[in-house]
Chains A and B, each alone.
Chain A
Amino acid sequence: MNAVELHRVSKTYAKGTVTAVTDVSFAVKRGELFGLIGPDGAGKTSIFRVLATLLLADSGTAYIDGFDVVKDYKHIREIIGYMPGRFSLYQDLTVEENLNFFATLFGTSVEENRDLINDIYVQLEPFKDRRAGKLSGGMKQKLALCCALVHRPSVLLLDEPTTGVDPVSRKEFWAMLTRLKEQGISILVSTPYMDEARLCDRIALMQSGRIMSVDTPDGIIAEFNTPLFGARATNMYLLQRSLLADPRVETCYTFGEELHLTFVNGSADAIDGVVASMLDAGHTDVSISSIRPTIEDCFIRLMAQ
């Protein structure tokens, strides 16, 4: 049985005029860390809200641990831990009060589940008497994760838990998710950061309410079926213009400090010729070399298709 299953789920807003999610199907296996990757507005939050029993889909069905999100919503609320994209704990209650409050709502206590949250809790402990509203962004997210975990859910739904969090805290957060997965909790997590996708067991790439591809990160990269090259020169902006004008170049986009490009006939044979014509066109320090595509490259390629 899968931890999460969606079958052709669609959701529109404003009486059908705004499409949020179209025909989305995917499954998260037991004990899997599954990533929903896509830019803002891709429909990730709508999927989470449907799964968290907060939103009714227009059509399609969804299951968590085999329970229907519409019919068995009461049971689902017992077995999921949901962390909304926006910080939703009581800002005027302290760290400890928030934790105890959410534990008691599920009829349990922090002590009973201490082993599960201990990792995170020890980091929060020095601040336990601080009001949640006065915590730093990273600490808020850790507290929210703690509160979502305190009743030992079997499935964790985390909607963009690392958005707006500093890089160090993001790393720590993902390390925690990996450890939770080892304890047998299935996790569905969304993020707009492509670098975090590699940390998932499997990912779904989403764009405009549709799923473009579902696979392991390596599998997604393997689907990138044409050689990818990185290009540099002294003036990157002019280089990109010249490359885009070259008939041998298929795509060329900025990627960090480099330009990533693919060729029309795919092969590496064109490199020398292209480098030569760039030098002729007055560019200096031109270098083009073969590179391994990243998830983001795959995403850009899928979007263009």
Chain B
Amino acid sequence: MRTLFFLLQKEFRQILRDRIILAMILIMPTMQLILLPLAANYEVRHIGVSIVDHDRSAASQQLVRKITSTDYFNLVRYTSSYPEAFALIESNQTDVILEIPVGFERGLVRENEQSLFISTNAINGVKANIGAAYLNRIVMDFNADLRTELLSDAKGRVQPLIDVRTIDRFNPHLLYHVFMVPGILALLLTMISVYLSALNIVKEKELGTIEQINVTPITRLQFISGKLIPFWLLGFVTLTIGLLVARFVYGIVPEGNIALIYLFSGVYLTAVLGLGLLISTVAETQQQAMFVAFFFMMIFIMMGGLFTSIESMPQWAQWLTYLNPVRYIIEVMRLVILKGAGFSEIRFHFLVIAGMAILLNSWAVLKYRKMA
């Protein structure tokens, strides 16, 4: 125990002396949590819409007003020539075209039916899809208004209509950052832990200091604990900073128990530090370690469910994500912070991550040999 204490003392001295590492641990989570959710925003507003109105009737005017009165759409051009509107798509000035046919109003009244034409610029797929969906919704609304107006019978009774309303639970205002912040925090925790632990031990190899350590009587377990414990504690520092940023910058107060977040993160940190350790036993130089760690991180991040939802991946990819520790922490963060989940809801996550922690660390300890 005494030896471990001295190892830890030495390790903390070195970390605190390395200004860049220190900045990584303290400033990176703060900066990234403030910048990323603001920049990486999928919420679509101000879609450029051009309306080709061949009808120019009261009904078409009413529809146009309805569309432009929301801040989802900016009217780019109101015209009666489709080629003109299409030119705007080609020059990327408009995202969606709505074409209103001749006889729109008359058809609506007499034939009880009318078609509209929507064409979208799918270069920016997200904007196009969401734009078309919004537009559809407005047209449906318009349609409903018309029906109430025109089809109420002589006695003033309104024909039955089905109205579907959606409530977004756990993020009622559909705020993008509420969804992103817990996920980004999970990623930061992973990156800092994997990189720091992988690079630190390889640095000792590179500088040769491990030679001097290896001829002392300290045991494998002592050496590895001396490496993991400091980074484990630093992981909690990152987590705390992240939760504070979430609270005071975004006003996200965890619905669930904070202790549960720390408990799960403790197990999770053990697992990802084990991965870093494993990388460090394979790599000979810091450069190699960096690339191997980068390889894993890219896959973890892309398949972690933050940027692409796991449900929309192909089946085989969904199965693969079960091997991805990042998937579990992102889910747990969201479950506990946004949904207020308790231990029973995240028991599966706990078991899997605990298993990974045991597997990765034992593998690393076995692979770390004092003798070549």
Contacts and interface: CB of A to CB of B under 8 A. Distances in A.
Interface of A: 49, 52-56, 73-74, 77-78, 80, 82, 84, 86-93, 97, 101-102, 104-107, 147
A80 B215 contact: yes
B17 interface: yes
Contacts of A101: 6, 10
A54 B371 CA distance: 5
B14 A89 contact: no
B209 interface: yes
A106 B216 CA distance: 7
Given A84-B208, A88-B212, A93-B10, A105 B18 contact: no
A91 B207 CA distance: 9
B13 A84 contact: no
A140 to B, nearest CB: 12
B233 interface: no
Given A107-B3, A147-B212, A90 B217 contact: no
Contacts of B214: 54
Q: For B6, B14, B215, which residue has the most chain A Cβ atoms within 10 angstroms?
A: B215
Contacts of B10: 90, 93, 97, 101
Contacts of B157: none
Interface of B: 2-3, 6-7, 10, 13-14, 17-18, 207-218, 370-372
Contacts of A53: 215, 370-371
Contacts of B211: 54, 82, 84, 86, 88
A105 B226 CA distance: 12
Contact of B215 (A77, A93, A104): A77
26 contacts: A49-B372, A54-B370, A54-B372, A55-B372, A74-B217, A77-B217, A82-B212, A84-B211, A86-B208, A88-B208, A88-B210, A88-B212, A89-B209, A90-B209, A92-B17, A92-B18, A93-B10, A93-B13, A97-B13, A101-B6, A101-B10, A105-B6, A105-B7, A105-B213, A105-B218, A106-B217
Contacts of B371: 53-56, 73
A105 B208 contact: no
B305 to A, nearest CB: 39
Contacts of A54: 211, 214-215, 370-372
Given A53-B215, A54-B372, A102-B216, 14 more contacts: A54-B370, A54-B371, A56-B371, A77-B215, A77-B216, A84-B208, A88-B207, A88-B209, A88-B210, A89-B212, A90-B14, A104-B2, A104-B6, A147-B212
A82 B215 CA distance: 7
A202 B131 CA distance: 89
A89 B211 CA distance: 9
A187 to B, nearest CB: 16
Nearest to B212: A88
Most buried by A among B18, B208, B211: B211
A56 B216 CA distance: 17
A84 B212 CA distance: 8
Contacts of B213: 105
Contacts of A147: 212
A56 B372 CA distance: 7
A104 to B, nearest CB: 4
A106 B214 CA distance: 12
A105 B209 contact: no
A78 B372 contact: no
A96 to B, nearest CB: 12
Residue of A90, A105, A147 contacting most chain B CB atoms (<10 Å):
A105
Contacts of A84: 208, 211-212
Contact of B14 (A55, A92, A104, A105): A92
A9 B288 CA distance: 33
A94 B10 CA distance: 11
Contacts of B216: 77, 102, 105-106
Contacts of A90: 10, 14, 209
Contacts of B18: 92
B218 to A, nearest CB: 6
B109 to A, nearest CB: 83
A257 B211 CA distance: 41
Contacts of A52: 215
Contacts of A97: 10, 13
A282 B6 CA distance: 73
Contacts of B208: 84, 86-88
Contact of A93 (B14, B210, B218): B14
Nearest to A87: B208
A86 B371 CA distance: 18
Nearest to B219: A74
Contacts of A107: 2-3, 217
A182 to B, nearest CB: 24
A102 B212 contact: yes
Nearest to B222: A105
A82 B370 CA distance: 15
Contacts of B14: 90, 92-93
A53 B208 CA distance: 15
Contacts of B207: 88, 91
Nearest to B10: A101
A55 B3 CA distance: 25
Nearest to A55: B372
